Amino acid sequence: MTVTPSRDLSIAEVRLTPVLVADPPLLNTQGVHQPYTPRLIVEVVTRGGVTGLGETYGDTKYLELARPLAENLTGHQIGDLNGLFTAAERIAVDRSHVAERVDVGGLRGVQTADKLRLSVVSAFEVACLDALGQALGLPVHALLGGKVRDTVDYSAYLFYKWAAHPEGVPAEPDDWGAALDPAGVVAQARRLTERYGFTSYKLKGGVFPPDEEIAAVRALAEAFPGRPLRLDPNGAWSVETSVKVAEELREVLEYLEDPALGTPAMAEVAARTGVPLATNMCVTTFGEIEEAFTRGAVQVVLSDHHYWGGLRRTQHLAAVCAAFGVGLSMHSNTHLGISLAAMTHVAATVPHLHHACDTHYPWQSEDVLTERVALTDGKVAVSDAPGLGVRLDRDRLAFLHRRWADDDGRHRDRDDAAALRAAVPGWTTPAMPRW
């Protein structure tokens, strides 16, 4: 049988384009977002002439893994996703990028070699699925077994925020203004609601002493009665503080996210409060599930297809959570529309997704797409177009890549503590627990 060119599903080329995207001065327990955040855009081009898109973290340590993987994939079939993961396993990881302890692992838990690899290969998997979907005329959700909903709910991701970056880049402050107290947080939530129709809210905490953050959540509860609310200090509190906050906010919280750092501390908090605990820090790999679930440390896991290793592994995680009666939600980092499209396709296929997903997307004023992904009534409509249903704007991609190429080295690797040092000389990532 002769294969027509458009049906040749082997990989001709993988293009990697690192970009720097504008990010507002959002505060978290480690520091503040830098003016630009690195992302990596992956294009998988088939010999049949179809191009699939993927997106992941763009820091140097991810690029170092993505490059050899891309080079090894010429001739690989885009439908051979298992083979793609085997190819990724062969890529050596620089040990200096690995941290085996949760207290030094940053905001997404322990940074193992496997997790780094998975964070890279996930974007290749998404790009292969996008290409396969386009070649077959099927949406990505259909390749994953089919959607069980037509829209995916997202929550408003609220941040304490400065009006402008301390580095003075870009020169003009954004139009969101500052949010540094309960009134500022409520104003931000109202604005996000007006623009995007959100009906649930998550506040990134661990920035101010817990009493101030309790006051902010109470103010949100008053402003949006009955709406689901979450607070996430990224492990900044002791067990005692976590229990106190949980008890004070028990009437209004949908869940408390990573109040304390690590499974043993979370298990202790969980044993002492009825408020459900969620995590994207102590359960971030399949290996961490057994201890956390058997100890009852978490009631909700935040999936993230980037570091869990793609869309299919996210479905596997969902199945394990369902088997243990643990809820599922979705974590997000600074990301563009390709990631949001991928998040939406996989979320659409997960039956027991009972919490709105997180997304940073409203904070991203820039994108690499010809059309931004629409967030309406707090939802993204699940696309039925072939593949992910998004199109790359090559001029925008080139512009954001030029910013990366011209960068003086300050922004190619996300460093929230370094960004905060511009305002608070001598600042370093705080030891946990902070409070």
Amino acid at 419: A
Amino acid at 36: Y
Contact with ligand GLR (CB under 6 A) among 107, 236, 289, 432: 107
Contact with ligand GLR (CB under 6 A) among 115, 204, 379, 411: 204
Strand pairing partners for 44? Answer: 14, 52
* Residue 432 to residue 435: CA distance in whole angstroms: 8
Closest CB to ligand GLR among 144 and 289? 289
Contact with Mg ion (CB under 5 A) among 155, 200, 280, 349: 280
Determine whether the annotation assigns residue 332 to a binding site. yes
* The two three-digit tokens of residue 322, written as one number: 């369902």
Determine whether the annotation assigns residue 76 to a binding site. no
- Residue 131's H or E segment, with its range, is helix 113-136
CB of 159 to Mg ion, least distance (A): 12
DSSP one-letter code for 259: -
* The two three-digit tokens of residue 7, written as one number: 């049906």
Determine whether the annotation assigns residue 62 to a binding site. no
Dihedral sign, CA of 314, 356, 105, 19?
A: positive
Question: Which residue is at the shortest CB distance from ligand GLR?
Answer: 28
Closest CB to ligand GLR among 259 and 309? 259
Determine whether the annotation assigns residue 28 to a binding site. no
Q: What angle do CA 292, 126, 257 make, to 5 degrees?
A: 30
Closest CB to ligand GLR among 268 and 358? 358
CB of 258 to Mg ion, least distance (A): 5
Task: Label residues 374-412 b or e (16+ Cβ within 10 Å = b).
Answer: ebeebbbbbbeebbbbbebbeebbeebbebbeeeeeebb
Concerning whether 204 is annotated as a catalytic residue, the answer is: yes
Concerning whether 244 is annotated as a catalytic residue, the answer is: no
Contact region with Mg ion (CB under 5 A), list: 33-41, 98-106, 238-246, 249-257: 249-257
**HSE-CB for 57 with a 13 A CA cutoff:** 25
CB of 392 to Mg ion, least distance (A): 29
- Residue 399's H or E segment, with its range, is helix 394-406
CB of 233 to Mg ion, least distance (A): 9
Say if CB 283 and CB 102 are below 8 A apart: no
CB of 362 to ligand GLR, least distance (A): 13
Task: Label residues 148-172 b or e (16+ Cβ within 10 Å = b).
Answer: eeebbbbbbbbbbbbebbbbeeeee
Catalytic residue among 61, 306, 331, 335: 331
Q: In this structure, what are the phi and psi dihedrals at residue 204, rounded to the nearest 5 degrees?
A: -75, 115
Q: Is 344 in the site for Mg ion (CB under 5 A)?
A: no
CB of 328 to ligand GLR, least distance (A): 14
Q: Is 280 in the site for ligand GLR (CB under 6 A)?
A: yes
Q: Is 28 in the site for ligand GLR (CB under 6 A)?
A: yes
Contact region with ligand GLR (CB under 6 A), list: 174-182, 238-246, 329-337, 393-401: 329-337
CB of 231 to ligand GLR, least distance (A): 11
Q: Is 331 in the site for ligand GLR (CB under 6 A)?
A: yes
Q: In this structure, what are the phi and psi dihedrals at residue 182, rounded to the nearest 5 degrees?
A: -55, -40
Partner interacting with residue 238 (select from ligand GLR, Mg ion, none; CB below 5-8 Å by kind): none
Contact with ligand GLR (CB under 6 A) among 130, 232, 288, 367: 232
Determine whether the annotation assigns residue 234 to a binding site. yes
Closest by CA position to 283, among listed 228, 350, 328? 328
* Residue 42 to residue 127: CA distance in whole angstroms: 7
Catalytic residue among 61, 115, 204, 305: 204
Write down the residue that tokens 């005329």 correspond to: 137
* Residue 24 to residue 220: CA distance in whole angstroms: 22
C-alpha of 108 from chain center? 9
Contact with Mg ion (CB under 5 A) among 23, 257, 268, 304: 257
Q: Is 284 in the site for ligand GLR (CB under 6 A)?
A: no
The site for Mg ion, by CB under 5 A, has a size of: 3
Contact region with Mg ion (CB under 5 A), list: 7-15, 44-52, 253-261, 373-381: 253-261
- DSSP for 188-200, please give it: HHHHHHHHH----
Q: Is 200 in the site for ligand GLR (CB under 6 A)?
A: no
Q: Is 277 in the site for ligand GLR (CB under 6 A)?
A: no
Say if CB 256 and CB 278 are below 8 A apart: yes
- Residue 18's H or E segment, with its range, is strand 11-22
* Residue 139 to residue 151: CA distance in whole angstroms: 14
Residues with a known catalytic role: 204, 331
Q: Which residues are annotated as a binding site for substrate?
A: 33, 112, 157, 202, 232-234, 280, 331-333, 360, 414
Query: Interface with Mg ion by CB under 5 A: which residues?
Result: 232, 257, 280
Query: Interface with ligand GLR by CB under 6 A: which residues?
Result: 26, 28, 107, 204, 232, 234, 280, 331-334
